[in-house]
Amino acid sequence: MGSINCKEYTTTNVVDSNKTENGTTGSGSYQSTCETKMSDKYTDPVIVCNEKDLPDQGMKQFDFIDNSKVLLIKQKGQLYAVGPKCTHYGAPLHTGVLGDGRLRCPWHGACFSIKTGDIEDFPGLDSLPCYKVEIKKDGNVAVMAKEKDMAKVKRLKDMVKRDPCNCCTFVILGGGPAGGVCVETLRQQGFTGRIVMVSKEPYLPYDRVKVSKSFDVKIEALQYRENAFYDEYGIETWLNVEATNVCGDKKIVTLSNGMCIKYDKMFIATGSAPTIPPIDGNNLKNVVTVRGYDDSQNIRAIANEKTNVVCLGSSFIALELAQALVKQVASVSVVGRGAYPLSASFGNEIGERVLRLFTENNVNMIMNSGIKEIVGNKDDEVEKVVLSDDTTLPCNLLILGTGAKPNTKFLDGSGLKINANGSINTDMYLKSSMESIYVGGDIANAPVFSSNNELAAIGHYQLAQYHGRIAAINMFECRPEILRAVPFFFTMLFGKGFRFSGHGAFADVVIEGDLEGLKFVAYFINSEDKVVSVASCGRDPIVAQFAELQSQGGTLTRKDLQNTSDPVAWTKLIKSN
């Protein structure tokens, strides 16, 4: 068998040999840390500012070449320059959070190394361009960019290609966020063996977050990469195929196309499937669930200006769909079993404000209720629903947002230990009960670093992508890396951005700011007075700051919140040096 080749990649320091203790050189200049190859061609130096314009442990955006911008960061006396926008959705990174050696996006929590620009936490897939920095004798700061990066706002990390002589085979089950990151990280780490990614969907990995928010986006615009990318790096993509059986002892996976693959290691990230409640009429036409792109396009085909839509459930996905549809259809009603939407995640006060936000935007919110019957017409299409109190609602499209269950049934008899709820326990390296099998994404009951490594199965997009990275690193076995998971969730509801980071049961909620005006921070506190999670609306980057604090092992308590003169004084606990 070919070896799993382990190659060391080091960041190149281009530093004058006469560099002094304070970072300057005998010749009056020094250059920043940045990955450099002899073949790289750089632009001429451009003066962007003076060293005095940037305090230590600070960052600032400056004008660069051809109306572009560059982000300068000063930490521990060293200057760094990277691209100014997050590679996920383009958030301005100078408004983000500077941690110890890394930068966190203010919107969705993606993290990048300030030295290399490499992505370290998600969402997203690409890294930041990294520039050379030079300080002149007069203190002016000059920046040089790789010519190939000038037209780019994002950068693909270096990847190796397939070596036919390396017969080691890694199988990735699932083409979602975890699987998509895993296959790329394997090549970035230096694995040259065979990679087979098996996906139930007919599409390459895509941005699933958008399928419940917009119905007009083409799949080509959602897919992260094109076929040519996977071909270039020798990553086999088996689409419209799913695993039907796994024999863990023999290391063989059987697929729905009749093929069997012998693997050396396997990463299982098959996601979850919608839960269908046992309601009479749930098999009628136009009763739908939403997990993937085809589901969203099905809704698009059904919905029109005459359609009465009912969303069962008041979870994030149900609310996102309701707000996406309300201006396109005749009516939208949300039926929830609790008193307020999102109260399990955000508490009753915020839940009540979210309820009014939806009511203000013409969504009919029916709470403390449920659907006990779905009634169809002569064409077996849903026509109305009967609620718990026997009232009826006209309904031409019923969307079931009633939870999900792990896609792990095919693993029965595999030798893996599977929990009663279908999830699979992992260790700190995402390894399962079987040595050669790793697990990630929705199905992984994995340690959560920010919750004292308590096991939890969390269906967050960001966490799934992070799992893909950690699994790949540990499958490759070059430099093992443990999970340091800090869940980060985000959603947009009627133009209001809600952020949430953390995990754990809470006993109290402390709200600071203007809840009515949707400019607030909420601290979720457990019975031991520890802040386990933070949510916000209109107060970026506060949630990203909490996520960075937790990623550093920091703890926030109720006492830390009691500075009335400065309610966010706790952010000074974040280490940036």
Q: Where are the domains of the chain?
A: 9-157, 169-273+406-476, 287-400, 488-573
Whether 33 has a pLDDT exceeding 50, the answer reads no
User: Residues of 526-561 as b/e, b for ≥16 C-beta within 10 angstroms?
Assistant: beeebbbbbbbbbbbbbbbbbbbbbbeeeebeeebb
CB 510 within 8 A of CB 525: yes
What pLDDT does residue 511 have? 98
Asked if residue 282 has pLDDT above 80, the reply is yes
Nearest residue to 457 (alpha-carbon basis) of 475, 439, 471, 481: 439
Measure the CA–CA gap between 562 and 524, rounded to whole angstroms.
Answer: 14
Across residues 101-116, what is the average pLDDT?
Answer: 98
- Does the pLDDT value for residue 327 go beyond 90? yes
What was the pLDDT predicted at 527?
98
Rg (Cα) of the chain, in Å, rounded? 25
Does the pLDDT of residue 343 top 80, yes or no? yes
Q: Identify the residue with better confidence: 431 or 77.
A: 431
Q: 180 CB contacts (<8 Å, ≥6 apart)?
A: 125, 197, 204, 205, 224, 465, 468
Residues 217-237: what's their mean pLDDT? Answer: 98
Please state whether beta strands 531-537 and 519-525 pair in parallel, antiparallel, or not at all (unpaired). Answer: antiparallel
Q: Which residues pair with 107 in a beta bridge?
A: none
Q: What is the pLDDT of residue 36?
A: 55
Question: Are 375 and 382 in contact, with CB atoms under 8 Å apart?
Answer: yes
What is the structure's pLDDT at 39?
62
- Checking if the pLDDT of 38 tops 70, the result is no
pLDDT at 34 over 80: no
Residues in contact with 562: Cβ distance below 8 Å, sequence separation at least 6, in sequence order: none
Closest by alpha carbon to 539, among 551, 524, 522? 522
Q: Please state, rounded to an integer, the average pLDDT across all residues of the chain.
A: 93
Instruction: Give one DSSP letter per residue of 506-544, joined into a string.
Output: -SEEEEEEETTTTEEEEEEE-TTSBEEEEEEES-TTHHH
Q: What is the pLDDT of residue 24?
A: 33
Phi, psi of 18 (to 5 degrees): -95, 20
Residue 426: exposure state from Cβ atoms within 10 A (0-12, 13-18, ≥19): buried
Q: Check if the beta carbon of residue 339 is closer than 8 Å to that of residue 351.
A: yes
- pLDDT the model gives residue 37: 61
pLDDT score at 23: 34
Q: What pLDDT score does 35 carry?
A: 56
Q: Is pLDDT above 80 for 345?
A: yes
Write down the pLDDT at residue 7: 37
Q: Mind listing the pLDDT tens digit for each residue in 458-473?
A: 999 999 999 999 999 9
Using CA atoms, how far residue 531 sits from 450, 493, 505, 560, 561, in Å, is 11, 25, 10, 9, 10
Number of other CB atoms surrounding residue 477 within 10 Å: 13
Q: What pTM, to 2 d.p., does this model score?
A: 0.92
Q: Are strands 69-75 and 58-63 parallel, antiparallel or unpaired?
A: antiparallel
The token duo for 204 is 């390459």
Instruction: Give pLDDT, residue 577.
Output: 73
Segments in 283-382 forming alpha helices (H): 293-302, 316-325, 343-346, 348-360
| Fold matches, 169-273+406-476 and 287-400 | yes
User: Mean pLDDT across the stretch 208-236?
Assistant: 96
Pairwise CA distance, residues 192 & 385, whole Å: 55
**Is the pLDDT assigned to residue 12 strictly greater than 70?**
no
For residue 325, what pLDDT is reported?
98
Q: How far, in Å, CA of 450 to CA of 198, rounded?
A: 31
Q: Please state which CATH number belongs to domain 169-273+406-476.
A: 3.50.50.60
Q: Under CATH, what is the fold of the domain 287-400?
A: FAD/NAD(P)-binding domain (3.50.50)
The mean pLDDT of 283-303, rounded to a whole number, is 97
CB 205 within 8 A of CB 223: yes
Domain 9-157 class in CATH: mainly beta
User: According to the model, what pLDDT value does residue 478 have?
Assistant: 80
Rounded CA-CA distance 531/510 in Å is 10
Per-residue pLDDT at 438: 99
Burial (CB < 10 A; 0-12, 13-18, 19+), residue 182, is: buried
* CATH code of the domain occupying 488-573: 3.30.390.30
Q: How far apart are CA 28 and CA 17, in angstroms?
A: 12
